[in-house]
Amino acid sequence: MKNIERYIEQTILKPQTVDSDIEGLVMDAKKYGFVGICVPPFWVKKAKREIGDAPIQLVTVVGFPLGYNMTETKVFETEQAIKDGADEIDVVWSITAFKAGMNWPKIELARLAKVCHDHERILKVIIETAYLSEEEIIKACKLCAEAGVDFVKTSTGFAPEGAKERHIKLMRENLPSSVGIKASGGIKTYEQAVKMIQAGADRIGTSSGVQIVEASRED
């Protein structure tokens, strides 16, 4: 598969991330041509400085990794991340409110979409497929699309399971073409990445981007 690097958001979200990890991440993104990098909110400012004027999307996370923060907290986190230089926000939606049968997740996501779009930024929503049935994944996709989000993302990487090919297909069948899909969680090989893209993923979130691109060049 040609240009697989244009799908990859090289990611580092481990708790023990240090400044040299961020430097290495940006160097790899420049060297391999990744579409973006995903970093903890604490490191957004540094990552922005390291990126300089390189064409790399700077992505960070909000409400991470469990999503049950108050909406006001998520709004503040989002505004702060944008101020610090983030281009894209990956928010963990309120799985707890969704499971409780509340309409709140849609209200929350619409608020966050407005914040992002007012600043011409992109909002991705992590629905954490590991905790959802197929029926719930379909409902989640419809809810996200109605709230005006830009992408729906499978996983935080902190749940028992990550992206599954069948879930990507299901998401693609139930999202309008204007809403993208980000597959993430457990994607470590070139073969896995290709399967996710063929199933309908527009972005791949992984900490194995270097290995994936190097394998693609051998293909």
Note the pLDDT tens digit of each residue in 65-122: 999 999 999 999 999 999 999 999 999 999 999 999 999 999 999 999 999 999 999 9
Please report where in the chains the tokens 């983030």 appear, as a residue: 86
How confident is the model over 191-213, as a mean pLDDT? 98
Catalytic residue flag (residue 46): no
41: exposed, middle or buried (Cβ count in 10 Å: 0-12, 13-18, 19+): middle
Catalytic residue flag (residue 182): yes
Token pair belonging to 168: 């990507």
- The CATH class that applies to domain 4-218 reads alpha beta
pTM value is 0.98
Greatest alpha-carbon span in the chain: 49
The pLDDT score that the predictor gives to residue 1 is 87
74, 106, 124, 182: which one is catalytic? 182
74, 106, 124, 153: which one is catalytic? 153
Q: How far apart are CA 190 and CA 4, in angstroms?
A: 9
How many CA atoms are closer than 13 Å to the CA of 46, on its beta-carbon side?
17
How confident is the model over 53-59, as a mean pLDDT? 98
End-to-end CA separation in angstroms for the chain: 8
Q: Which helix (H) or strand (E) holds 195?
A: helix 190-199
Catalytic residue flag (residue 87): no
Q: How far apart are CA 169 and CA 98, in angstroms?
A: 22
Token pair belonging to 174: 């139930």
87, 90, 106, 150: which one is catalytic? 90
Mean pLDDT of the chain: 98
C-beta of residue 87 within 8 angstroms of C-beta of residue 73: no
C-beta of residue 106 within 8 angstroms of C-beta of residue 81: no
Q: Is the peptide bond before 65 cis (omega within 30 degrees of 0)?
A: yes
Query: Which residue type is seen at 75?
Result: V
Confidence of residue 219 (pLDDT cuts 50, 70, 90): confident
